[in-house]
Amino acid sequence: MTHLRQVMLEELQRRHYSEATTRYYIRAVEAFARHFQCSPDRLGPRHIREYQAHLFTKRKLSPGAVTNHLCALRFFYIQTLKKPWSIADTPYPKKAHRLPTILSQEEVARLIDAALTPFHHTLLMTLYGSGVRNAELTHLKVTDIDSQRMVIHIQGGKGRQDRDVMLSPVLLDELRAHWRRLRKKSGTWLFPGNRWHSGDQPIDTKTPRHACQYAARHAAIKKKVYPHVLRHCFATHLLEAGADLHTIQILLGHHDLKETAIYLHLSQRHLHATASPLDSLSLKEWSSQEE
């Protein structure tokens, strides 16, 4: 397995997979091999189906988690072993499509105001004000803030795609205040890591998650809040304010408009645009004596 692991690692790096995905894929293939106590190059579709059932029934993994394991195995068989992979023989489980959590604008304001520290306050404002993903937020550079054009440059987003998002005047003022608060100015990162935010590396993705959790608890918001929720809020509130779907698609960096169309199901403006048929019925009123 050592040789195969090295070959897989080199192939993942050659194709520019992220470090987190690379680690996940290698661990998934190693777990598959350990389950059968056999080198993975000697296992086939029957073993994959059996392992898939094991992940569902024994480990109780969600359809999404099982799909991730299958993606790792598919990469290993196609790219590392150069073997065919049949979707018919190893079908992906169907995912449950659930609507994301959405906060009202009043709840977002409470969340930001309840930030634990000024640094957290800036992170929450940036997440909501720009709609960036958590990983994109953590890797923002000082040079990505373009105050002349009032845009934020997102470099190497999902799918290694670059894009620009709006930079609001309110967020620009906050970022300038954040920069003045830093004890040591980073030459590269907008949000430098370590305890005093003076490191040579950016913050990790746990920091924005903790910022959301602490603020939600202090604001007494019962909904589960994490960085991607603020991205959903950004898109939904833009739609409610009259922005068109194509513009929101570009701002979010979605490849397919279908990804963006989910916000039609979340926008109050669209939900309330048509009256319920119940409203047009002529119903008699029930009196307390009739109960």
| pLDDT (0 to 100) of residue 287 | 61
**Is there a catalytic annotation at residue 133?**
yes
| pLDDT (0 to 100) of residue 184 | 86
193-252 residue pLDDT tens: 988 888 889 999 999 999 999 999 999 999 999 999 999 999 999 999 999 999 999 999
Residues above pLDDT 90, as percent of the chain: 61
- List 121, 133, 197, 232, catalytic entry: 133
Q: Measure the CA–CA gap between 137 and 133, rounded to whole angstroms.
A: 6
- List 110, 141, 158, 210, catalytic entry: 158
Q: Length of the chain, please?
A: 291
Q: If you average pLDDT over residues 12-16, what whole number do you get? A: 86
66-113 residue pLDDT tens: 989 999 999 999 999 998 887 777 777 776 677 889 999 999 999 999
**Is there a catalytic annotation at residue 95?**
no
**Is there a catalytic annotation at residue 263?**
yes
Side chain identity, residue 159? G
| pLDDT (0 to 100) of residue 272 | 72
Is 151 within 8 Å of 165 (Cβ atoms)? yes
| pLDDT (0 to 100) of residue 84 | 86
N- to C-terminal Cα distance for the chain?
A: 74
**Is there a catalytic annotation at residue 158?**
yes
**Is there a catalytic annotation at residue 228?**
yes
153-172 residue pLDDT tens: 999 877 678 999 999 999 99
Q: Judge whether residue 274 has pLDDT over 80.
A: no
Hey, what are 31's tokens?
Answer: 């777990």
